[in-house]
Structure 1
Amino acid sequence: MIEVKIDIQTPPEQLRQLAMEQGYDIRSPIAQHPNTPPDVLIIFEALNPQTPPEQLCQLAQHQGLEIRSIAAQNPSTPLDVLPYLANDREAEVRYAVAVNRHTPSSVLGELANDRAWIVRFGVAQNPNTCGEVLARLAIDGDRDRDAVLNINPFSSQLISFLPHKIISEMRKCAVDYIPGKNAERASVQYAVAANPNTSADTLAELVGSWDVSCRTAVAAHPNTRSNLLARLADDKDEKVREAVAGNQNTPSEILVKLAADKTCLVCQVALLFNPSAPFESLCQLYKEGATELSLRNPNTPIEVFMELSAHQDPKNRSAVALSPYAPIEILAKLADDPDAFVRADVASNPKTTSHVLDRLSDDKHHPSRINSLQNPNIAVNTLVRLSTDKDPVVRYWVAKNFKTPIDVLAKLIFDESDSVCDAARSNLGQDFYCKIPNKKRDEMRLFY
């Protein structure tokens, strides 16, 4: 990216190059610059959702492939124009229509039969594509795929003209389709399996797909039936088994089986984050050494928390102190831990009660005090009490807290520390200042 300051004297060619390298952001000063070339301004118009519909209609008929493609992706392009673009001679434009979330379902149904594989791929990606069309695509959507993947699906003109940011925006998740970037994920079957509208029957057809990414998407899909998840739990690919382990609909007996999968450690990790993981599986994984990870599951037995909170290794006690599922009684106990960092972790836990935070706000260890003041459960009376603390860092965090009363913030404006004054003023807001009479403002020594 060129490091250059944009001013009124910046020449057109330099603005064109900047737009290419930095991306065609409609908020960019390039879009408003008087020297910006007309062809670059047209791209900004095609991208801008605020462009008038009649202007987008004209852009849809533009001779430039890249302009028609961008207009086809614009969410404000009139619905009666999208069918016209869906019949464009260039596959790039039809693909842009296929991934546009405002494209009518009838048009998506027609594009599902498109002769170009990339267009069918775009239809499969669209979250508004109906289940019937997805079922059709699951069967024959990948015809000619292998031949297409050997060439660049988008014209060299478009690739050379548009920056990568625009191409990525046009393609959404089809960015994987760019040659050399995970091309194995670029299959219609994969896109169908990842689509939230895909039915259980269609997913059943895809469970035996040649595409590993497709089977992985089926294993992770919330509509996949339990008998299919049981079948996928024996898949030869670790990624597929990991997705089964992370699926909340996977039967408990399958999760127990995956917990014992010694050849797939990622399965165990996924299982530890699955809120449906059974008690016995979590206990088994904990015994095998997955201590910190086991504390991130809401079903982790309280016995595990109790054992680790009394462990001689402070790292294990910190893991308990940081866990969002740690019982509040154990957090209260760890607030008196001899290790200062464990106490600081307790102070940062959003489950820690206001009573415990009040204690930690007076801790000898500075991080414990600061963490407690940033905790959303800190009590107002604690903030009021610490507003006069001798430590300016403590007063600063009191001044930044949105729960601090207005009258306390008004006093902190006079604080001897500039950072505390600034934090209090920022917290009060400009609207509050505007309501103060000028005479009173002078008395309070508030300067703007």
Structure 2
Amino acid sequence: MDHVLCGLAANPALSYECVDRLIAVADADVAWRLADRADLDHAQAVALFARVPECGVQLAYGGRLTAADVDPVVRPDVALALLDEGAGSPQWARLLAADPDPARRERLAGCPDLPADVVETLAADADVCVVAELALWTTSGALRGLASRPHADVRRSAAANDATPPDVLAALATGHGLPPVLHCEVCDQEATPSAHERRCPRSGCASPSDASCDGSHESAAHGIRQAALRNPATPVEAVVGFADHPSTSLRRALADRCDLPAAVYRTLAADPAPGVRAGVAANPAIDDALMRVLARDRDLDVRHGLAGNPHVPLDVFAELAGSVRSGAAPLPRIAAATEAEVARLARSANPAVRMHLARRRDLPPEVRDRLADDPDAKVVGAVAPHPGLGEARLRAMVDRHGVRVLAGAAVNPDATPALLELLVRHDPPVPRALPGIARHPNASPEALLACLRSSRARPVAAGRPGLPPAVVVDLLDDADPRVVEAAAANPSLPRAVIENLLPGA
């Protein structure tokens, strides 16, 4: 891989003529980056496709090619991509439905809005994988017939398709009203009775580790029911009976549904399997009374699920806050809190509650400032990236809490060049803050130069246009290929250098 050319291919400052020169010499790596350019026009996309046909699928999905640009016989993969985007010719679908490669027919079966005759052809395909893919994605009337096919894989796909008629989904869930399954992925490969080995010796085998068949296709039937239970289009009256089914995975699938009677949720909330109870706890359809019961559950996953429920009462959330982790984004209930609730949460005696609130980025100024002045470093660290804090308050936060809040302050959109320079020089240093500083639009050349001393931040800083051009040029010889590519993509790279780096200069 030529990392300089790959970087140049992504450089937004590249002139139209330079893009043309790169297209003329592009290999697959360079073409992959050129195909992503926002300024690549249709003529250049066609030229790039002619130079590196392997990038055609990427160009097709990016809307850079039209049906007139593609020969489906020569590049069936690109034709399939255009069909998948709804931009291909119906005649292509008829051609590809007869393709000798079953993998292509399977890809075609997943494309939207296929002509009725193509659907009919694919439904009669000799390869069960093609038919199963059709059953998973088609919205046509063929679904009713596909759901009664003798192979379990096809039925499982139909059970997962929310376009399948509700009465058919009910039959797939219960097993009533359909002819018996005659084939499954286990008995297709092994004499029955057979159980799939956990460490299967067959190369490329995709069968589940618990797959088994004694002639009744039991694991396949289980998969069909599970798909139907997870399908929100399956009528509720067909699924409620599974609340006390012996299979934990079926009860777990049921627990995620939002249309069950309250009595069924209560049954599932008392399930012996923690995973089932956790599914119920996270379900927005359960009532407050059941949430209060689940808040006392001893299993941590159940409490985590409840804390993530968008309707959990705030007093219940307060009980859970200290034992629940979340990412940078606020939990759904906190994100949905009203202005009055936000004010109440900000005054909570529990610092974990205040910390979760501090992850919102739309707080009223008085609440934001109150949390920025909080005595708890975790609260201050969570609110540190919030817009509107201003340089003086950010400095005060770092002065009070140091390394515990510095990374958050470093990504605050209002951090000034002077503040970022201060943070990059902080003693003790905070290495995890440096990539954020290197990405910051206000990072000064001095801050970016300091970030170059960090192996974590160097590839980020090398691509920033605020670096002095001479430094960017020097980075083209860096030992780290990520740095070289980032420097070549840096719009501050002098045009004369770009011209000299292109082949044929």
The CA distance in 1 between the partners of 2:382 and 2:211, in whole Å, is 40
- State the partner residue of 1:15: none
* Shift, 1:81, TM fit: 0.5
Q: Deviations over 1:339-381 (max 9, x none)?
A: 7776444313x4xx613664114644478566335235x3xxx
* Cα contact 2:80–2:107 (8 A) shared by 1: yes
* Shift, 1:241, TM fit: 1.6
- State the partner residue of 1:308: 350
- State the partner residue of 1:354: 388
1:423 aligns with 2:464: yes
* Cα contact 1:109–1:133 (8 A) shared by 2: yes
* Pairs within 5 Å for 1:44-443: 44=77, 47-50=80-83, 52-75=89-112, 77-100=114-137, 103-140=138-175, 148=184, 150-151=186-187, 178-180=207-209, 187-262=223-298, 264-279=299-314, 281-285=316-320, 290=323, 296=331, 297-298=333-334, 302=344, 306-309=348-351, 319=355, 323-324=359-360, 332-333=369-370, 335-336=372-373, 343-348=380-385, 350=386, 354-355=388-389, 358-361=392-395, 363-364=398-399, 365=402, 368=405, 371-372=408-409, 374-376=411-413, 378=414, 383=416, 386=417, 391=422, 393=424, 401=440, 423-424=464-465
Question: What amino acid is the match of 1:265?
Answer: L
* Cα contact 1:206–1:218 (8 A) shared by 2: yes
The CA distance in 2 between the partners of 1:93 and 1:151, in whole Å, is 18
Percent identity over the alignment is 22
Change (3 A) 1:241 1:366: closer
* Shift, 1:80, TM fit: 3.1
The CA distance in 2 between the partners of 1:230 and 1:150, in whole Å, is 37
The CA distance in 2 between the partners of 1:335 and 1:246, in whole Å, is 31
* Cα contact 2:438–2:464 (8 A) shared by 1: yes
**2:270 aligned counterpart, secondary structure:** coil
Change (3 A) 1:203 1:105: farther
Question: What amino acid is the match of 1:180?
Answer: S
Change (3 A) 1:99 1:225: same
* Cα contact 2:148–2:179 (8 A) shared by 1: no
Question: What amino acid is the match of 1:211?
Answer: S
* Pairs within 5 Å for 1:17-32: 31=54
The CA distance in 1 between the partners of 2:169 and 2:107, in whole Å, is 25
Q: How many residues align?
A: 356
* Cα contact 2:159–2:231 (8 A) shared by 1: yes
TM-score of the pair, normalised by structure 2:
0.55
The CA distance in 2 between the partners of 1:398 and 1:66, in whole Å, is 46
**2:311 aligned counterpart, secondary structure:** coil
The CA distance in 2 between the partners of 1:291 and 1:90, in whole Å, is 48
Q: Deviations over 1:406-432 (max 9, x none)?
A: xxx9xx689995988963569xxxxxx
* Cα contact 1:117–1:144 (8 A) shared by 2: no
* Cα contact 2:106–2:130 (8 A) shared by 1: yes
The CA distance in 2 between the partners of 1:271 and 1:241, in whole Å, is 10
The CA distance in 2 between the partners of 1:398 and 1:27, in whole Å, is 41
Higher relative contact order (CA 8 A, sep 6+): 2
The CA distance in 2 between the partners of 1:401 and 1:179, in whole Å, is 46
1:447 aligns with 2:484: no
* Cα contact 2:420–2:447 (8 A) shared by 1: no
The CA distance in 2 between the partners of 1:284 and 1:391, in whole Å, is 39
Which piece of structure 1 moves more, 316-325 or 81-90?
316-325
**2:349 aligned counterpart, secondary structure:** helix
**2:142 aligned counterpart, secondary structure:** helix
The CA distance in 1 between the partners of 2:185 and 2:228, in whole Å, is 18
Bigger helix share: 1
The CA distance in 1 between the partners of 2:259 and 2:145, in whole Å, is 26
**1:127 aligned counterpart, secondary structure:** coil
Change (3 A) 1:224 1:356: farther
* Cα contact 2:96–2:104 (8 A) shared by 1: yes
* Shift, 1:223, TM fit: 1.8
- State the partner residue of 2:36: none
- State the partner residue of 1:158: none
* Unpaired segments ≥5 residues, structure 2: 1-24, 28-48, 57-72, 191-202, 213-218, 426-433, 453-460, 468-491, 496-505
The CA distance in 2 between the partners of 1:234 and 1:339, in whole Å, is 37
The CA distance in 2 between the partners of 1:273 and 1:217, in whole Å, is 18
Root mean square deviation, CA, Å:
5.0
